Structure 1
């Protein structure tokens, strides 16, 4: 690993153009592009071993674990080009397959209407169709929650089977208290009628797999590129290129202690490392740290610190099991819509890349449990969690406990920013204050902006931030980067091309989308005693 452990702690230890908090996709993208432009950077990362944040790859006894599953697809040609530049020789093409497990049967994801109705049986299928028609004719008019939105889209019966259990596992709250933003963002474009039409096309041989080549209809991609040793391979390569440039430092095992304005336009950052404090001075600061944590470490303390402190996160852990079997199932992962077990998703690491699993006679799967830091799951011992994972795999009929030959646990804090009824107001308050008071402080990435976006979206926020820094003004509003799920999952890779120059600058189509993408979302769940908000526009 090429990184730097800073020694002893005195003011002026490191002086750079830009200091970056967090070595995840956003932070490393910013660092790489800044060093390419000749800027000096220092990146602090609190993990002692791994870069990549939630996109890191953890290794245990030769087995490699992807933390959450990361397909490398983007409509942004800039992002695709950057991936190819950083990791030119190590991508492989993999089949995309994920299914839903419910009551001992598998359902394709996205849902295929005929298959789903066949698996459910005649009587339950009839009830599902009746429920669907009921809510199409008499929809819920005051749409406030995830439950309302999804019920209107699919009917209450299908909602309860295919959305309620899994969604409540992921977010740890009842669907009727969850903001409708989530449904509008992640289920947008999916419809029962569309699934029926797709089923007819498939049965007639009129629908082909979409491999991103541009010759097929714009359906969900069914193949994707992936680094042969996992997503961490990309970010380890980015780190090494930053250090090799001679312009960048990566300080592992260094947590943000304080980020203080110097009263003019610069920054003094204190990083707490294994050998004491390191002081970094810089003209610009980029933070991908969770907004809640940044607010408490800024000096002077923001007036919106209390609002930022109300931002919530969902954590999760992966229990990896090594199982005596050549393979268990072909899916990249399986969504578990079964209330008998706590596991929410099961990954098959060999289906992501055969090189992730060193022994061809051993399958390696990852059971993902969604939790809150400090709850019963999070604080359970590794031994207890491995035993629970073995038991639940047995309940699901996916393997026998006696076939499990090893296990490991990986915990991931702050994996998902929570979209509750107050999050947008709290984020906007902090954003507005920081932009006014600290023009040289830039927030990027998933946790840095409290947005559940994809890896390429996080990278785009960093790419536009770098342009702003180089030019010396906020040309681009990075908060408008499109966070719509369809942007990531459908269409053709690199489909967005360059547009004619504007104001003397070439603006790519994905940048144009980043600056102008605004979408409708249903209104939120109203707070007690407050009136419901009107439907509004959000980026």
Structure 2
């Protein structure tokens, strides 16, 4: 009796100069620039359909959805020039408009205190001012939390209306557990008393200047946007990489990234059919979540236990098609109302008219912030569409009978969480990789566990490419500016092409001083906020 052994499938192999994990803005930027420089590149992406990561554009029945909302504005000339190079003919100019929605009324964003008091009506405004006065006379002496700081600044009434509900929706933790440092940075410059006194002066004709209770800022009034959504940019970048003879491999999930013992890398990827592919490369660039990369590295890094504790905030978008004219002119509105779970609502036609093919249909995206695996995340699509329809009705924004369809897009690991341990965990991983594996480069929001914008993610990739081409670490990618007000103020392309070279303590201090503000939890003993620290 002859028994024939079933031959095992050998994984296909590919050798390139650089393998890139993740086809988001950082990964595709690196792939595009390396391809231009004549390097052989392979990019693996676990999604089977879309490139762009959180900046992708999802299409459903001809309607296009921006996942999270991406204004194309950057102070970096290098980034702006690269956008124009990749997508030279498809940008449109769009007005910038975002407001707060509370109990049927719209409020300016950033918040204008005098306008807010006027919209709230005489009785509530009086209550707010009385609450504010009480907080000034009897402030909380132990200011540890976001709640403590904000109540001392604005009073409990305004805090409950404009700060508490939305903040807790986004970050999934109570305001009395968030550090007061974040509040001091995030709401810096807004003065309730200054807004009220300026408003009274205006009503008496004593002050003709616009009044919003804020320190003077020049806000961005319009921005550029790809006419078919941000995914259009990353589709074009992918096409350039492929046209250069390189690979963008969809449906390839990272299984293992192993050092070959000679400074290079052996990457194993799993395909949807269960088969595998092996890619060998001299350099590896990872935009995968740091937590996931650490678990798949071989040899296992000593810092893997640190990285395994990193946390993320997820969200999902429920896109509704509504038989109606556009419901509001904003790009998005913030929902400061505890009666509903939705945190923000996008209006896709306001991003670009070409995103919505039917002029008689409004298309909006309701964003729900959650953790992967919780009740919202695990709900079925039909259940979520029904919830979104119900909440639009509760808010008074549409009649449920006008909703003619909907779909759900889930985005895991949308926001890296800055808990009290994250910085030490990231530092441990970074130091070990830089010491032992100088040819492994971390880029992008999740790759570096840093809450940066699309243009910042691109810049980390651009500097990484410069380092690879120079065969030396001439730029410190961790010093890329993370200014929280990037999309609110300033002039496009006003900053030089590249930041300072690696080296000085002043460069590192400047980068840390511009860290984008993200809430951290209250700890028993905390350092005081550094004097002069400037974050939004």
Q: Same fold (TM over 0.5)?
A: yes
Report the aligned-residue RMSD.
3.0
Do structure 1's residue 233 and structure 2's residue 232 form an aligned pair?
Answer: yes
Q: Which residue of 1 aligns with 2:4?
A: none
Q: CA deviation at 1:102?
A: 1.3
Per-residue deviation, 1:136 = 6.1
Change (3 A) 1:155 1:491: farther
Q: Does 1:467 align with 2:461?
A: no
Match of 2:76 in 1: 76
Contact 1:478 1:514 (8 Å CA) reproduced: no
Task: State the shift of 1:403 in Å.
Answer: 0.5
2:513 matched to which residue of 1? 519
Aligned residues: 515
2:61 is aligned with 1:61: yes
- From the CA coordinates, give the structure whose radius of gyration is larger: 2
Contact preservation (8 Å) 2:220, 2:487:
no
The 1:64–1:502 alpha-carbon spacing in structure 2 relative to 1, beyond 3 Å, is: closer
Q: Residues 27 and 515 (structure 1 numbering): CA distance in 2 closer, same or farther, change over 3 Å?
A: farther
CA contact (8 A) 1:144 1:522 kept: no
Equivalent position of 1:169 in the other structure: 169
Aligned partner of 1:213 in structure 2 is none
Q: Tell me which residue corresponds to 2:128.
A: 128
User: Matched residues in 1 for 2:534 and 2:425: separation?
Assistant: 14
Q: Structure 1 residues 498, 285: closer, same or farther in 2, change over 3 A?
A: closer
Match of 1:214 in 2: none
Secondary structure (helix, strand or coil) at the match of 1:120 reads: helix
Distance 1:390 1:353 in 2: 23
Deviations 1:467-500 (A, max 9, x none): 111112222221121212113321111111469x
Q: Secondary structure at the match of 1:517?
A: helix
Separation in 2 of the partners of 1:283 and 1:538?
A: 40
SS in 1 for 2:485: helix
The Cα shift of 1:307 comes to 1.6
Which residue of 2 is the match for residue 92 of structure 1? 92
Uncovered stretches (5+) of structure 1, i.e. residues with no partner: 1-7, 209-216, 506-511
Deviation at 1:448, TM superposition (A): 0.8
SS class of match (1:79): helix
* Aligned pairs (5 A) from 1:422-433: 422-433=421-432
2:3 counterpart residue number: none
Which of residues 267, 270, 283 is equivalent to 1:269?
267
Shift of the alpha carbon at 1:525? 4.0
Is 1:107 the counterpart of 2:101? The answer is no
Which moves more between the two structures, 166-175 or 482-491? Answer: 482-491
Aligned-residue offset at 1:251: 0.4
SS of 1:451's partner is coil
Is the Cα contact below 8 Å between 1:10 and 1:279 reproduced in 2? no
Post-superposition Cα deviations, 1:297-334, rounded to whole Å, max 9, x if no partner, equal 01111112122111111111111110011211111111
Cα distance between partner residues in 1 of 2:51 and 2:500:
37
Greater Cα shift, 106-115 or 248-257 = 106-115
The correspondence of residues 142-153 of structure 1 with structure 2, limited to 5 A, is: 143-153=143-153
**How many angstroms apart in 2 are the aligned matches of 1:382 and 1:31?**
35
Compared CA separation, residues 330 and 16, structure 1 to 2 (3 A): same
Alignment counterpart, residue 260 of structure 1, candidates 255, 258, 283: 258
**5 Å matches for 1:53-452?**
53-132=53-132, 143-180=143-180, 182-183=182-183, 186-192=186-192, 206=209, 218-246=217-245, 248-275=246-273, 276-452=275-451
Q: Which deviates more, 18-27 or 171-180?
A: 171-180
Shift of the alpha carbon at 1:538?
11
After superposition, residues 474-489 of structure 1 pair within 5 angstroms as: 474-489=473-488
Query: CA shift at 1:112, angstroms?
Result: 1.5
Unaligned runs of 5+ in 2: 1-7
Could you state the TM-score of these two structures normalised by the residue count of structure 1? 0.88
Tell me, yes or no, if the aligned pair for 2:71 and 2:487 is still in contact at 8 Å. no
